[in-house]
Structure 1
């Protein structure tokens, strides 16, 4: 396999490039980022009298998630940079891995169309390459796989889990993009038009409607106790260009969700309590999801499988873990509560 090298996040983070062949824009790669749990504290040495009686030090107890691997997939116009999110898992003993998909973030190469794909199932190759690295040398007993997806990453992982039954033991979705943010009749009207464009003019550009308010809201509520150093070349203030071929792939994925998928693992869906439309800047945009219609997402989430928990976070942004301090702490508390129950149930 490849070599682990220090990641741009520094500290305990390392990365590895995953070759995925070539396409008409050249070399295609994905990038996996790794953070491992801290080494367990050594057991205290036995006292003289304990040694005399033949008492040996007890082995360190296994941390609660010591047999768990987490695979995180980012959203549209995004990449992985959230150190605290990784440390939530590693502090509980899990190994954390984040995947920058092809043509995103660390995986974007000169001359490539950022984020472009015309079939979400193509990402099966990226995920397979990441899982091969995660499972390399795995000979210490079975491990549980936890999938973690944000926004478009949540859609990608939901469809992947449906196609790969039995692979994941659990899934956490942070504001997954499971439904398009238009009324149903408008979605049904534009879908054939987008499909026609995708067939004949896949690189036709859609109008830019992002005014940068979502990024402004994140900056306004940034938590000094959880600082972020964001690369604007990889995560621009306004969304990357939307192309017809990519949008058609997204709408196709939404239709698959609407038809119902069967994820055979427990799912946690974290969402803001409400949506605010970003037509003009106001303080209200710092307390709501300005990207998706969260009520529609909550309904669509119930079609993911037989065991779905939907948690609504008051005052949260689209990325609930980048919200103002109170909502951010609530999101982590809800995640911790669910993970505790999931761990007990799946271990049993």
Structure 2
């Protein structure tokens, strides 16, 4: 590793840039995360001109949602997306894709990202401090929920796009299998779990035309292989959420109105969540804090912002209203 890293052009093209964040080493070699940014132009009069957004992707994923970045930039916010260690831009040869033994390991990734985001503002004491909005999808939503609860006062708002807050078996099923998963994680953390992703979620996005081609290995059709150590880490996160968090800022949860079983392909998968049981997620979301808003989006898929045109527009309009009319007042309205 080198000690000095610089912003360089990103694979998404202008105006996106990326910065490699050095995180040290583990048994598989050098560990890095990658921060991608897109900055607004002529944002002085925009309502969120003092806002930085940090987006975190879900399982078997990386950041490529350029329309989402443009949405935030149009509101005046600086948009940043983090490819976590061993995902996407941050994957290195010989690493186990996506693997961590605890979701707390991502504290280092997030800390490095925030440090880089704030670097340009250092020494400008006369300026008002910038507000941080966290946005996470699926497993990224779980990770950021836990992080926000452990770091009170850091975020001004949290936006969760179909967060994976509960196992698909529901709480009773999770509690029943948790001891077995934990035991296997202790003795065989990198063992192989059964394949549960049959590729239908990827097919739904391709049929909608919202999934671009990915660099090889970054987003496999059926997702990454899963391992007992990783699953135990996720289930520990689920248990922590179920016990109740105390996120101290407004939280918005965007979800589809319906779910479809991922066992067999159906056209309904292009208008429903075929990954999570959204009713369970909606109920569990009430455990995140005291100011939680849940918006159910008709015809949305698991990644709401990769849905068809109408549900995608619905979701972004709802997000804009929630931000500007409630969670984040325009800068000129603050006292």
TM-score by length of 1: 0.91
The SS at the match of 1:113 is coil
Which residue is 2:78 aligned to? Answer: 95
Which residue is 1:129 aligned to? Answer: 112
CA contact (8 A) 2:136 2:144 kept: yes
Which residue is 2:272 aligned to? Answer: 288
Displacement after TM superposition at 1:250 (Å): 0.2
CA contact (8 A) 1:7 1:15 kept: yes
Q: After superposition, what is the alpha-carbon deviation per residue over 1:57-105, rounded to whole angstroms, capped at 9, x for unaligned?
A: xxxx532111000000000000000100001011111100000000000
Distance in 2 (CA, whole Å) between partners of 1:192 and 1:96 is 40
CA contact (8 A) 2:37 2:80 kept: yes
CA contact (8 A) 2:9 2:17 kept: yes
CA contact (8 A) 2:52 2:79 kept: yes
Which residue is 1:332 aligned to? Answer: 316
Inter-CA distance 72–121: structure 2 relative to 1 (3 Å threshold) = same
Distance in 2 (CA, whole Å) between partners of 1:170 and 1:184 is 27
Q: Structure 1, unaligned stretches of length 5 or more? A: 41-60
Which residue is 2:204 aligned to? Answer: 217
Which residue is 2:167 aligned to? Answer: 180
CA contact (8 A) 1:146 1:168 kept: yes
The SS at the match of 2:328 is helix
Q: Are residue 27 (structure 1) and residue 27 (structure 2) matched?
A: no
Displacement after TM superposition at 1:185 (Å): 3.0
The SS at the match of 1:172 is strand
Aligned length: 325
The SS at the match of 2:85 is coil
CA contact (8 A) 2:21 2:35 kept: yes
Which residue is 2:39 aligned to? Answer: 36
Q: After superposition, what is the alpha-carbon deviation per residue over 1:148-198, rounded to whole angstroms, capped at 9, x for unaligned?
A: 000000000000001000000001000000000003332222100000001
Distance in 2 (CA, whole Å) between partners of 1:248 and 1:177 is 14
CA contact (8 A) 2:84 2:90 kept: yes
Q: Structure 2, unaligned stretches of length 5 or more? A: none
Distance in 2 (CA, whole Å) between partners of 1:288 and 1:318 is 7
Distance in 2 (CA, whole Å) between partners of 1:174 and 1:244 is 25
Q: Are residue 344 (structure 1) and residue 329 (structure 2) matched?
A: yes
Distance in 2 (CA, whole Å) between partners of 1:137 and 1:70 is 15
Structure 1 residue ranges, 4+ long, deviating more than 2 angstroms after superposition = 183-186, 227-232, 345-348
Displacement after TM superposition at 1:345 (Å): 7.6
Distance in 1 (CA, whole Å) between partners of 2:322 and 2:213 is 29
Q: Residues 1-348 of structure 1 correspond to what in structure 2 (within 5 A)?
A: 2-39=5-42, 61-138=44-121, 139=124, 140-222=127-209, 228-341=212-325, 342-344=327-329, 347-348=334-335
Distance in 1 (CA, whole Å) between partners of 2:13 and 2:133 is 24
Distance in 1 (CA, whole Å) between partners of 2:319 and 2:18 is 26
Inter-CA distance 93–221: structure 2 relative to 1 (3 Å threshold) = same
CA RMSD of aligned residues (A): 1.4
Inter-CA distance 16–189: structure 2 relative to 1 (3 Å threshold) = same
Displacement after TM superposition at 1:319 (Å): 0.3
